[in-house]
Amino acid sequence: MTPPAIVARARQVGLDLIAIADHNSAGNVGAVKAAARGSGLEVLAGMEVETREGVHVLCLFDESGPLGALEQQVHAHLPLRENDPALFGPQPLLDEQGQVVGECTRLLLTAADLSLSQVCRAAADLGGLAIPSHVDRKGYGLLGVLGMLPADLELAALEISPRLTAQAACRQYPSLRGKVLLGGSDAHRLEQMGQPHTLFRLQAPTVGELRLALRGEQGRGCLGLEGGTA
């Protein structure tokens, strides 16, 4: 999944807005943003942080600067261990043409010593939006790991995995009823992109507009999840 291929596939399947959210890393966000210039596709700067509890949290920003600040915080709380490419796979850094220009040698496929509430607060303090990822999954999902939605944590939205529709998720997890549920492809391969996706009414492709849409304020809105398999 190179930056040019991601942009081309997103346009092919009719997406207007995507987020690049690698695991505990922001290293390839800039390359995809650069590859998307002039394409009609907007790219949010993102990162999927693994918390101390083993929960994945999608952190979204408009620009790479604040995301980089969050990445520094996350990396300061990762184990001091180098990646083993033979065991975990390589961690390349690409340019906008898709050429390898470096490699992250720090092991990213692990949890940071930051709690769920700490990650959400850190993202908010930097102007970002934190959304727990694929909450229905047994592995790395908020409900699968904790078995509940923390009462003391205010969440603008929750993402469900591609295996469920919003209706099926609410039937299976009654605590999701009345919550704003989003769907994303969590794509690791090009053919997964856009299945499912979420429709929004926005005036601009920004995190601030998404925040308004999730609250249903000022004429913005979340029009619902399209896709899901059950």
| Predicted pLDDT of residue 228 | 72
DSSP code string of 191-218: GGTTSSEEEEE-SSSSHHHHHHHHHT-T
Residue by residue, pLDDT tens for the chain (230 residues) are 899 999 999 999 999 999 999 999 999 999 999 999 999 999 999 999 999 999 999 999 999 999 999 999 999 999 999 999 999 999 999 999 999 999 999 999 999 999 999 999 999 999 999 999 999 999 999 999 999 999 889 899 999 999 889 999 999 999 999 999 999 888 999 999 988 999 999 999 999 999 999 999 999 999 988 877 76
DSSP code at position 56: E
Q: What is the DSSP-derived secondary structure letter of residue 85?
A: H
Query: Could you tell me which of 114, 120, 116, 90 has the C-alpha nearest to residue 103?
Result: 90
pTM of the model: 0.94
Domains and CATH numbers, the chain: 3-226 (3.20.20.140)
